Amino acid sequence: MDVVTLIWLYILGLVRWLLHEAPLQVINFIRSLPTLIPELLKWLWDFIWFNFKPLAQIIVIPGLAFILLFAMIAVWFERKFLARAMLRIGPYYCGKRSGWLQVIADFLKLFFKEFVIPDDAEKVLFLAAPVLLPTIPALAITLIPFDSNWVLFDAGGLSLPVFLAIAGLAPVIPIFTGWAANNKYTIIGSFRTAYLYISGEIPLVICAAATALLAGSLDLVDIVEAQKPIWFAIPQFIGFLIFFVGLILEAERTPFDVPTAETELVMGWRTEFSGVLFGFTMMAEYLSFLGWTLLFIVLYLGGYLGPSLFGVPLYDHIFWMLLKLAVIVVIIVLIRTVYPRLRLDQTLRLGWNYLMPLSLLNLLMTIILKWGLII
Amino acid sequence: MQARSEEELVEELKREHPELLHDAIVHRSKRVSVIAKRERVLELARILRDQYGFTQPVSAGAVDYIKEGRMQMIYYLMNPETRFMLMLRVDLPRDDPRMPSMTEIWEAMNFHEREAWEMFGINFEGHPNLTHLLLPPDWRGGYPLRKDFRGEGITP
Amino acid sequence: MTEPEIKPEVMRISWGPQHPMSGQTRILIDVDGEVVRRIIADIGFTHRGIEKILENRTFIQGIVPIERMVMADTANIALGYVQAVEEALGIEVPERAKWIRSLICEMGRINSHLYAFGLQVECTGYFPAVFLWTTVDREVLLDLFEKLTGARWSYSFFIPGGVRADLPEGFRDEVRRAVEYLRRRFQDYWDAMVENPLFEMRNRGVGVLSREDAIRLGATGPVLRGSGVDMDVRKDEPYAAYGDLDFKVITEREGDCFARLKVRFHEIEQSLNIMEQIADEIPGGPVRTKVPLFPRSKPGVEALSRVETARGELGVHIFTDGGLKPYRVKINSPTLRNMYVFERLAELNRVLVADLPVILYSIDPWYLDCDR
Amino acid sequence: MAERLTAPIYGVLDYLLTWARKFSIWPVHFVTGCCSPEFMQVSGSRFDMERLGVLPFASVRQCDCLMVVGVISRKMGERVKYLYEQMGEPKFVVSVGACPTGRGPFYDSYATVAIDDLVPVDVYIPGCPPRPEAIIHGLMLLQEKIRRECGFRAGKE
């Protein structure tokens, strides 16, 4: 029985079903409609009520709404804060005297703007970057615990290394985008990204390992629980400082925003993006900033721990997490207004000569602190 | 040997190198001008720089005397110690304005000679990079600063 | 401009006229990785042919185009031209007019140095704080200009024979108030810039210009004084009221971007002192001598006037042929000299791509002055 | 019939789109002539143009407004044309100062060019240099023009 006869048999069976049974089934379906709709609704209601928690997680707290809302508020806050530092007002008329709609207007305009693809650029890689860029930090953020059981993606006790692995993917994209955009500025920008991330990534990983060592487990929830007696910022003060500097370096904030230095390379590796592509890359920059800040809070500032204000523990924890996030964002934006940008070789010297040995020293101190072993 | 006042400088120049220069005049305090012969201008420039200390090049430009049929190229030089300004002038005939370039002696004259070349058409032999400085690279409208320039929009 | 040949391992980048840090010029740099091998300044993008236009304007009409050469520092440029015209036509200027001229020139110098601070700070990425503070402080001076002359930037206030109008009453204590306010503000600038360790890291030892190279390459203004040469036309050939004003010429020894920044700082302090002296001791008397509207010049007269603008020494050389219009006006622009120094800095010391804007704006170029 | 049906939807989207485009004009960081200090004062603290949502941007790809500030020389004219072609589609040109519009005080020079034979211009701002209030007024006129002409149905009428 070769394939052709099989196909023919199948088609004959189909034709017979269409002629004989199909009308019957349609009539039965229509007759059963009055009872079907309430059933459907009931099923939908059960579905929402039964797994209300994952839905809330996906959509609200560590999920999409929180990320987009943070991007909006961070951009608006930064423009207003910088304007205040420059003794001027910043966006004012766009949202009834406070400019809060300004970011929505910007993104909407970018959404409807024509985006230009340079003719001899690698189209596939060029269009892949704005898609990949926001997803990687968003993926990493799902691992952050907002409460002991409020974790979106349960990595089975290994959430810290998984976070670092995903966040480690982020620098790869600017590198191949810089080459794909076929523009001299982007090539230099992508090389600089490569240098910067190598020198910035390793001290962070070592410091994260030190905290995991102190907490005795690789799971972020356990690390936060271990910080109940005392936040890890105090016993590991060197690691705290290194991670803070590394955070600014990873998120490319001003003392270290060497790859997208406006004054030398027009926009670094983002020069060729226009319209909605640029909108996504700008949002991605704030998402990676959010991702690393949340990890910083979880590792050193006691995650969601804090005295309880409302009755329900879940609301307390989420409130404390957001409060710490706000404090860190304000500090980093403040640093942007106070310090100029460092040169590439100065940043690398900082990364290799100071952050690296200090992080090893921090690891050594944690070992001694934990086991009191005299090696 | 640094001369104290302008008159001594002028007398010395006339006494030492009469064959190199036509004339040397004192305009006012700290401002002297020397009119050099076109062929021997390089030697005079080297002497001025090495012996008389005019090491700082200020600027250079040309003037087109169309009635007398000549162009005068002026080099403004400064002596950093005595703060004298010397204007080294070279007269060129209008029909073939050729001149040895001063870039070997004062390196900074590079830009000013390029500008004089594109504005007046003075050909500087030995200039490293005689291309357009201010005008667009594909400029074919003649030499703008000459008196007989008929560019568009110009009503002399 | 024909493109010189490019060596294989070097990448030629063009910082075109549209670049956050290139102003109105194009800078071609040969980059090998991060190190800049060669700089080619392709200037001429704002060439308006002012020298040809001035041959088509009478002596008084000529003030308008020449003032637009350096918009941040119009006072000194206009003074250079007007003094040359007065020397060519033999016009006397009353004493009070000279003092008013010095007052406005010093205000223009502070205005222009603020511009230099703003850009030198912006190109190290220090965008938000100091760069916009300079616009706030410049508004104080612009209000004074507006009160005195009616215009903010190109006010055509100097005319052959003196100054267009006398100081409005109450202007002198406004000058004193402005000077006192600016002194406080410059203390903030000093803390925000010179005391800032990161800013110093970006500027110290960058773009070093030794004393001999500065003289040999014909640098001028703060670039020259930053390398230790105390040449200042206000002291060498005193014009306007600088003869009887006491102020110091500031020099630094290192000759790097940081030294040039400090030279500008101290020069502003000297200018503030001068403004105060003028506000206290300005003599009375007429403000303008009678000059016919279309003065006729004597044939075959030459007049070279040298003025110390904020960017260096400007020379205006007027040749007259007895007509109503100058026969030829030669302008020795300070920025053209400094741009040549900028081009040679790539060979003098190791320049990185990130250092280039810092060096470029420590030289404080004004491309319209360079292209005329 | 199609027109009547789509009208209300177009109306809402039109309003939304023109509101967004009106409030986020990103002029490219490009000054061509001697009005540049005035442009800096307008983006400065006293006459803050960011109140209207106008934020100067570095790369020409992301910008949609080419503010030609000051005199255009012949050499600069080509660059203005290149820049105009590189910008994304809803693009506007604002000519700041007397020089771009009619070559200003350099009317009889061989080297200056007026902007009209280079790129189509939306708003002309007179003055040499124009006062900061005039520049902001010009930007508001541009916003008015965007509100009227730059919705979905731009091409229809």
Task: Please give the mean pLDDT across all residues of chain D.
Answer: 84
- Is the Cβ–Cβ distance between C51 and C81 less than 8 Å? no
For A258-273, the pLDDT digits (tens) are 887 777 777 778 888 8
Contact residues on chain A for D64, CB-CB shorter than 8 A: 109, 113
Question: Looking at A88, A112, A136, which one is the last position of a domain?
Answer: A112
Are D107 and B153 inside 8 Å of each other by CB?
Answer: yes
Chains B and C touch (3+ CB pairs under 8 A): yes
CA C345, CA C350: separation in Å to the nearest integer? 9
Q: Quick one: CA torsion of C257, C242, C236, C107, rounded to 10 degrees?
A: 20
Of C234, C240, C8, which Cα lies nearest the Cα of C103?
C240
Residue range C49-335 forms a domain whose CATH class is mainly alpha
pLDDT of residue D7: 65
Same domain, A212 and A268: yes
3-state secondary structure of B34: strand
Is A5 within a domain?
no
A349-358: long-range pairs with CB below 8 Å, 24+: A350/A199, A350/A245, A351/A196, A351/A199, A351/A200, A351/A203, A351/A249, A352/A199, A355/A199, A355/A200, A355/A203, A355/A242, A355/A245, A355/A246, A356/A202, A356/A203, A356/A206, A358/A203, A358/A238, A358/A242
Residue C41, φ and ψ in degrees, nearest 5: -90, 110
For C8-66, the pLDDT digits (tens) are 688 888 887 887 777 888 889 888 888 888 899 888 888 988 998 898 889 999 999 99
Of C196, C136, C258, C363, which Cα lies nearest the Cα of A340?
C196
C 154-183 near A (Cβ less than 8 A): none
Q: Is cis: bond before D129, omega within 30 of 0?
A: yes
Which structural domains are found in chain B, ordered by start? Answer: 6-125 (3.30.460.80)
CA C359, CA C261: separation in Å to the nearest integer? 11
Same domain, A169 and A302: yes
CA A258, CA A340: separation in Å to the nearest integer? 11
> Is residue B18 classed exposed, middle or buried when 0-12, 13-18 and 19+ CB atoms within 10 A define those classes?
exposed
Percent of chain C at pLDDT > 90 equals 38
Is A30 within a domain?
no
Pair type for strands B85-93 and B31-36: parallel
pLDDT of residue C128: 66
- Is the Cβ–Cβ distance between A140 and A166 less than 8 Å? yes
C-alpha B125 chain-centroid distance: 14
Q: Give the residue-averaged pLDDT of C134-153.
A: 89
Is A53 within a domain?
no
For A2-35, the pLDDT digits (tens) are 888 889 998 998 888 888 888 888 888 888 888 8
Are D41 and C368 inside 8 Å of each other by CB?
Answer: no
C-alpha B156 chain-centroid distance: 26
CA C118, CA C120: separation in Å to the nearest integer? 6
pLDDT over threshold 80, residue D43? yes
Report the number of distinct structural domains present in chain A: 2
CA C323, CA D17: separation in Å to the nearest integer? 62
Query: Which of C38, C213, C328, C348 should one mutate to test binding to chain B, selecting the residue with the greatest count of B CBs within 10 A?
Result: C328
Q: Which amino acid is at C246?
A: D
Same domain, A261 and A346: yes
- Is the Cβ–Cβ distance between C345 and C227 less than 8 Å? no
Q: Which amino acid is at C270?
A: Q
Q: Give the residue-averaged pLDDT of C177-203.
A: 89
For D109-150, the pLDDT digits (tens) are 888 888 888 899 999 999 888 999 999 999 999 999 988 887
CA B154, CA A361: separation in Å to the nearest integer? 76
D 19-58 near C (Cβ less than 8 A): 28-38, 40-41, 43-46, 58
**Of the partner residues C136, C139, C153, the one whose CB lies closest to the CB of residue D129:** C153
Same domain, A92 and A210: no
CA distances from C192 to A34, C131, D40 (A): 76, 11, 21
C-alpha C264 chain-centroid distance: 11
Which residue of chain B is at minimal alpha-carbon distance from C228? B80
Of C372, C301, C281, which Cα lies nearest the Cα of C54?
C372
Lowest mean pLDDT among A143-152, D93-102, D134-143: A143-152
3-state secondary structure of C86: helix
Same domain, A100 and A235: no
CA C99, CA C242: separation in Å to the nearest integer? 8
- Is the Cβ–Cβ distance between D114 and D87 less than 8 Å? no
pLDDT over threshold 60, residue D154? no
In the sheet with B21-28, reading across from the earlier edge strand, the strands are B21-28, B31-36, B85-93, B70-78, B56-65
Same domain, A142 and A277: yes
Same domain, A75 and A158: no
CA A173, CA A177: separation in Å to the nearest integer? 6
Task: Please give the mean pLDDT across all residues of chain C.
Answer: 88
Q: Give the residue-averaged pLDDT of A229-254.
A: 88
- Is the Cβ–Cβ distance between C209 and C226 less than 8 Å? yes
For B8-38, the pLDDT digits (tens) are 888 888 888 888 888 888 888 888 888 888 8
| Angstroms from B70 CA to nearest CA on chain D | 24
Beta carbon pairs, B and D, within 8 Å: 20
Q: Where are the beta strands (DSSP E) in chain B?
A: 21-28, 31-36, 56-65, 70-78, 85-93, 98-100, 123-125
Same domain, A159 and A194: yes
CA A290, CA A70: separation in Å to the nearest integer? 8
> Is residue A86 classed exposed, middle or buried when 0-12, 13-18 and 19+ CB atoms within 10 A define those classes?
buried
CB atoms within 10 A of CB C368: 29
For B63-103, the pLDDT digits (tens) are 999 888 899 999 999 998 888 899 999 999 988 888 999 99
Same domain, A105 and A123: no
Is A301 within a domain?
yes
pLDDT of residue B153: 46
Question: Token pair for residue D136?
Answer: 């902001």
pLDDT over threshold 60, residue B154? no
CA C124, CA C122: separation in Å to the nearest integer? 5
Same domain, A68 and A205: no
Residue B70 forms beta bridges with which residues?
Answer: B65, B93
Report the neighbours of A using a cutoff of 3 or more CB pairs below 8 angstroms: C, D
Q: Which structural domain range is residue A194 located in?
A: 113-374
Question: Token pair for residue A196?
Answer: 């910067």
Same domain, A264 and A349: yes
Is A56 within a domain?
no
- Is the Cβ–Cβ distance between C300 and C35 less than 8 Å? no
* Domain boundary assignment for chain C: 49-335
Are C16 and D105 inside 8 Å of each other by CB?
Answer: no
**Of the partner residues C45, C64, C152, the one whose CB lies closest to the CB of residue D75:** C45
- Is the Cβ–Cβ distance between C105 and C148 less than 8 Å? no
Q: Bigger pLDDT: B93 or B140?
A: B93
Same domain, A104 and A133: no
List Cβ neighbours of A129 (8 Å cut-off, separation of 6 or more).
A173, A174, A176, A177, A180, A273, A277, A281
pLDDT over threshold 60, residue C78? yes
